[in-house]
Amino acid sequence: MSAALPTAAFWRGRRVLLTGHTGFKGGWTALWLHHLGAEVTGFALPPAADQTLFRDARVDLAVHSSFGDLRDLDAVRQVVEASRPEVVLHLAAQALVRRSIADPVETFASNVMGTVHLLEALRGATGLKGVLAVTSDKVYANEEKGLAFVEDDKLGGKDPYSASKAAAEIVAFSYARSYFDKAGIALATARGGNVIGGGDHSADRLVPDIVRSVRSGATLELRHPEATRPWQHVLDCICGYLVYAEAMITRPGLPRALNFGPDPSRPLAVSAVADAIFEALGRKPAWVHRPVPGSIEMQALAVDSTEARNVLAWRDRLAGKPGLAWTAQWYAAEAAGADMHAFTLDQINRFPTL
């Protein structure tokens, strides 16, 4: 079976509400949806200083932007009423682990109550066909046994970010069983791996830290160089989300949750990713190990995406070195002053040919 891709026939003219369009994954998703012909309304906080993809790639050209806060139920209701969505992709979140430890209240309010507010506002929406809530690979109760998690494994979280995303899973399931199933509206969750790709400039993320190190000449500090994560390119991840959202509407009865990540039998350590990105940017790897005393960050994490591969015919086209190369090429083009709207669209256009 050939690998699945989102189809223009489904998305063309479709009214889509996308939360988090000012963020990293949200910006790429907005541009791809616009490329497919969807009518996209974005709802998110205004882009933060380190969220430059929205500006650099001119994401505003792809969406009707509505700036607001998911913690404000009235604002969420207003954007739902105005956009009249047929499909909702919920990507907005406080997505940084260390920030969640510093400010757990903000994290739980955004990730848990934000999800509640969105689903509550959608509960009476007319014309709604499906909702896909994006959570995280970190929703599982991780006992560091080195096993790849499958969708039926126990949920949990040692830090506020992980716990908030696990709670959002429970919120989505409860709304599906209590309300959306009865209305014939598909509601599911997608658990993506650690996403890399051009345009991410967030604090405390590996690739943005490497890029800042290269551009400033400072030595990169790695907290856990031996840690492994399910690294995947942003286009592989978003492809999974769009294919899943499309399929859950056109093929009722799909699983309520799916993992999206690389082959867990080939884990990549943080140090290996750092070395590869440095080399792809034409620089000699230069980093030091700077441990954080008392850190509760997980050392090993992997998800098993067999279900998504079997049910959706999804596959990661940029696994391993190709994804690292595409990521480095984006940042190199940005540093050279290229038209990043055109460059980003070019990567989206080339992705289906891989």
Query: Does residue 40 contact residue 63 with C-beta atoms inside 8 Å?
Result: yes
Looking at the DSSP bridge assignments, the partners of residue 186 are 130
Q: Beta-carbon neighbour count of residue 86 at 10 Å?
A: 18
CA distance 96 to 203: 8
Containing H/E element for 183? helix 181-183
Q: Is 161 one of the catalytic residues?
A: yes
As a dihedral over the C-alpha atoms of residue 339, residue 343, residue 345, residue 346, rounded to 10 degrees, the angle is 140
The one catalytic residue in 140, 161, 241, 331 is: 161
Query: Does residue 91 contact residue 238 with C-beta atoms inside 8 Å?
Result: no
Sign of the CA dihedral with 202 first, then 143, 190, and 192 last: positive
User: What does the block give as tokens for 329?
Assistant: 């090429």
What values do phi and psi take at 260, rounded to 5? Answer: -135, 115
Q: Which residues contact 31 (CB under 8 A, 6 or more apart)?
A: 57, 59, 62, 344, 345, 348
CA distance 31 to 258: 23
CA distance 63 to 41: 5
C-alpha to C-alpha distances, 236 to 123, 226, 333, nearest whole angstrom? 30, 24, 21
As a dihedral over the C-alpha atoms of residue 245, residue 85, residue 93, residue 301, rounded to 10 degrees, the angle is 0
CA distance 248 to 254: 6
Q: What is the set of active-site residues? A: 161
